Structure 1
Amino acid sequence: MQLTLTKSGQVYLPNCIRKELNLEAGDNIYIFVDNKAIILAKEACEKENQCILSNRGTLHIPVEIRRICKITSALKFNVIRNIEDKRIVLSKGEYETEG
């Protein structure tokens, strides 16, 4: 599965992903970088930025994370879902995708 980053730095999480990870509108989502991939986690981590999942299922990826990962607008991410850890990995193609 691939997700596209909008010009404003938002990414839409499809309903199937939100259901698998038990994400609802208003949930805090923690965002951090690991090996130049963006990790979205429901549980807090040590080095995180925080955002809130919107009613439409969108998240805003903070500009500092986009800079670290050298992300430009309209980039397509490969998605790996880790249901056990309640995490989503967004990569620019460094990882194999599943689902």
Structure 2
Amino acid sequence: MYLIMSKNGQIRIPKKIQKQLNLIEGQYLFVYESKNCIMIEKHHEDETLNQCLFTNGKITIPMELRRLCNINVREMFSIEVSCNKIILKKRN
């Protein structure tokens, strides 16, 4: 499955994944970079990581992560779920 990031850095999380991970509207999710991927998860031991609000089925990827990962407007990503994490990989 592929997703496109909006010009504002937003990604829409598919309903199937929202239900699978029990994501709740208004919940804060941890968003960070690992191995050149964007990771999104509900719980993380490092409380200093970026936390972004999940609203309207979307989450905004912080600008510093977009710069770090060299993500451009309208970038396309593959989306996977593994170990209760959402993994976004840039499509080459």
Is 1:57 the counterpart of 2:52? The answer is no
Superposed counterparts of 1:1-99, under 5 Å: 1-46=1-46, 48-54=49-55, 56-82=56-82, 85-93=83-91
CA RMSD of aligned residues (A): 1.3
Letter in 2 for 1:48: L
Change (3 A) 1:71 1:4: same
C-alpha separation in 1, matches of 2:72 and 2:91: 14
Q: Deviations over 1:41-90 (max 9, x none)?
A: 11124252001100x201010000000000001011011111xx320000
Gaps of 5+ in 1: 95-99
CA contact (8 A) 1:5 1:73 kept: yes
CA contact (8 A) 1:29 1:51 kept: yes
Q: How many residues align?
A: 91
CA contact (8 A) 1:30 1:45 kept: no
Runs (4 or more) in structure 1 with deviation over 3 Å come to: none
Gaps of 5+ in 2: none
2:43 is paired with a residue of what secondary structure? coil
C-alpha separation in 2, matches of 1:73 and 1:60: 13
Identity of aligned residues (%): 32
CA contact (8 A) 1:10 1:58 kept: yes
> What is the TM-score with the length of structure 1 in the denominator?
0.86
